[in-house]
């Protein structure tokens, strides 16, 4: 009966049944106690677990291997690793499962040194124990020792390879990850996820897509939700809508079209690729929305300038009982900034602490600076920066500098540049923006001084660049004034044609006087 409760996750009922048996003086056996201990651990019933331990002592079961191992797991789960070790030492016959449980307890409680010491003392080591120790060195960031341990293993299973693979990925060693992956005779979706994750974590998004293509084409390993989330994030970063749509089809094919994690990835991908309506459609189809779902659509709408819709979704979120977090308010404050809702934005900012007990981070302060600056309240923005409990970063001063140009406030532009030079003296964009402010105000001498200051710092303007998806699925990058491409003459001819066409349709190019230095 106790085991039945455990199997259906009725942990409290299992513990209560055990108490009823004790009241009726029914003696437990070495099979009942481990089941009750597992239920205590799952239900966080630490006091009840201690009572079970007392019963085990009273009935002479503490030396039993099965009971002792479960006591180790119980106390490890409670964070009382010293009690777990005492239970370990009281066992008469320790098997490899007992040793593994004790080592796992040390690992779970971040005592990795003791875990390695015990591993070295273990008389028998199966592949599970070796894999556990491999994880310890990876968590320590010691990939040299992890690789040495991996090479020492008398027998390795697929988990061994996947563990080391993820270790390389976690520590940013993409080449090591690739070498190990290619050496594997057997791979499952965890193996592919390790490789794809390594590419994703290190910003190699084109390789993410290539690996996914290869996974789908060459193997029987079916992608899971983690795979799809990585690939959708890469599509979002690259702006590769066509590939993102293919991944959406794969999600439907593999049964993940309603998976909340995949849906969150789809919302983000469609939003960043410019298809707001598709993002909304996916959002509306999510039955059980989590906080990330709400945050993703709110931020997507805010980025696309649909501040009113973002605020409407926020109200629905609150009506559904979902509590916002700091990320939610980044989207809300951005929405207010884009819509020019200065007073609403300030009210939302104050509600973070007053209503939701959320401590604002530097990103939130930055949003408020942008909100005030965009709205033309440059004096208030500068005062807000002074009153902040955190040091203003370059993003805030850049927002104030940009607003100074729009509202033609030279005083604040000069103040912003002064602070930006302190934070990032070699960034040419700051000088260029102030130069444009002076140029538009007709202050040519001041503009010339900026030119000299920029030259003296050794700053050079980084050429702008754009990317475009080719017919073969590849992504090409184009830099301003770049003539290295073999077909650059044709490219510039086409560009001139497009420029003429835009002018015919009435598009007016912004006349910006920029600084170019050789």
Q: Each residue of 208-254: pLDDT tens digit?
A: 999 999 999 887 888 999 999 999 999 999 989 999 999 999 999 99
Residue 47 has pLDDT above 80, yes or no: no
Question: Any long-range contacts for 22-25 (C-beta under 8 Å, 24+ apart)?
Answer: 22/55
> Looking at residue 355, what is its pLDDT?
94
pLDDT in tens, 180-190: 999 999 999 99
pLDDT in tens, 313-372: 999 999 999 999 999 999 999 999 989 999 999 999 999 999 999 999 999 999 999 999
> Looking at residue 385, what is its pLDDT?
92
The rounded distance, in Å, linking the Cα atoms of 349 and 368 is 8
Give the residue-averaged pLDDT of 161-175. Answer: 92
Indicate the pLDDT class of residue 518, thresholds 50, 70 and 90. very low
> Looking at residue 289, what is its pLDDT?
95
> Looking at residue 198, what is its pLDDT?
94
Residue 205 has pLDDT above 90, yes or no: yes
Instruction: State which of 78-87, 416-425, 486-495 shows the largest mean pLDDT.
Output: 78-87
Indicate the pLDDT class of residue 99, thresholds 50, 70 and 90. confident
Average pLDDT, rounded, for the chain: 84
> Looking at residue 511, what is its pLDDT?
46
The torsion defined by the Cα of 38, 39, 44 and 47, in degrees rounded to 10, comes to: -90
The rounded distance, in Å, linking the Cα atoms of 478 and 468 is 8
Residue 394: alpha-carbon gap to chain centroid? 23
Give the residue-averaged pLDDT of 83-94. Answer: 86
* Residues ≥6 apart with Cβ < 8 Å to 216: 223, 250
The rounded distance, in Å, linking the Cα atoms of 193 and 224 is 9
* CB distance 105 to 137 below 8 Å: no
For residue 73, give both structure tokens: 């797991």
Short-list 40, 133, 119, 120, CA closest to 80: 40
Indicate the pLDDT class of residue 517, thresholds 50, 70 and 90. very low
> Looking at residue 463, what is its pLDDT?
61
For residue 442, give both structure tokens: 């007709």
pLDDT in tens, 448-460: 776 776 666 655 5
Instruction: State which of 113-122, 190-199, 483-492 shows the largest mean pLDDT.
Output: 190-199
């Amino acid at each position: 009966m106790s085991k039945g409760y455990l199997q259906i996750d009725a942990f409290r009922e299992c513990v209560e049944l055990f108490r009823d048996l004790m009241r009726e003086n029914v003696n437990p056996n070495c099979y009942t106690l481990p089941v009750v201990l597992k239920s205590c651990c799952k239900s966080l019933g630490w006091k009840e677990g201690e009572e079970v331990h007392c019963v085990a002592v009273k009935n002479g079961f503490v030396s039993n291997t099965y009971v002792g191992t479960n006591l180790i797991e119980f106390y490890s789960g409670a964070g009382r690793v010293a009690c777990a070790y005492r239970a370990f030492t009281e066992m008469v016959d320790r098997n490899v499962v007992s040793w593994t449980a004790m080592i796992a307890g040390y690992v779970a409680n971040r005592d990795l040194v003791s875990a390695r010491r015990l591993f070295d003392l273990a008389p028998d080591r199966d592949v599970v124990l070796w894999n556990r120790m491999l994880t310890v060195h990876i968590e320590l960031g010691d990939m040299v020792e992890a690789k040495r341990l991996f090479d020492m293993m008398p027998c390795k299973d697929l988990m061994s390879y996947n563990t080391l693979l993820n270790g390389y990925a976690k520590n940013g060693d993409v080449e090591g990850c690739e070498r190990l992956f290619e050496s594997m005779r057997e791979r499952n979706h965890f193996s592919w996820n390790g490789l794809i994750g390594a590419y994703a974590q290190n910003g190699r998004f084109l390789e993410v897509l290539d690996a996914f293509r290869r996974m789908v084409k060459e193997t029987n390993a079916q992608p899971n939700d983690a795979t799809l989330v990585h690939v959708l994030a890469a599509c979002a970063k690259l702006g590769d809508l066509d590939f993102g749509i293919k991944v959406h089809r794969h999600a439907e094919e593999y049964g993940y079209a309603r998976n909340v994690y995949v849906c969150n990835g789809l919302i983000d991908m469609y939003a960043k690729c410019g298809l707001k309506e598709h993002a909304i459609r996916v959002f509306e189809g999510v039955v059980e929305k989590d906080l990330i779902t709400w945050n993703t659509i709110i931020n997507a709408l805010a980025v696309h300038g649909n501040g009113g819709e973002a605020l409407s979704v926020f109200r629905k979120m609150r009506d559904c009982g979902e509590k916002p977090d700091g990320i939610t308010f980044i989207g809300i404050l951005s929405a207010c900034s884009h819509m020019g809702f200065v007073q609403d934005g300030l009210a939302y900012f104050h509600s973070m602490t007053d209503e939701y007990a959320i401590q604002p981070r530097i990103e939130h302060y930055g949003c408020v600076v942008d909100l005030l600056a965009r709205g033309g309240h440059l004096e208030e923005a500068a005062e807000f920066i002074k009153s902040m409990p955190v040091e203003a970063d370059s993003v805030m001063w850049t927002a104030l500098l940009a607003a100074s140009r729009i509202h033609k406030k030279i005083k604040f532009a000069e103040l912003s540049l002064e602070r930006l030079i302190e934070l990032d003296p070699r960034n040419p964009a700051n000088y260029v923006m102030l130069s444009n402010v002076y140029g538009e105000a007709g202050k040519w001498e001041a503009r010339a001084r900026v030119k000299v200051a920029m030259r003296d710092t050794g700053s050079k303007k980084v050429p702008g660049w754009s990317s475009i998806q080719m017919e073969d699925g590849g992504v090409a990058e184009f830099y301003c004034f770049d003539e290295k491409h073999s077909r650059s003459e044709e490219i510039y001819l086409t560009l001139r044609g497009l420029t003429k066409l835009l002018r015919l349709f009435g598009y007016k190019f912004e006349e910006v006087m920029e600084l170019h230095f050789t």
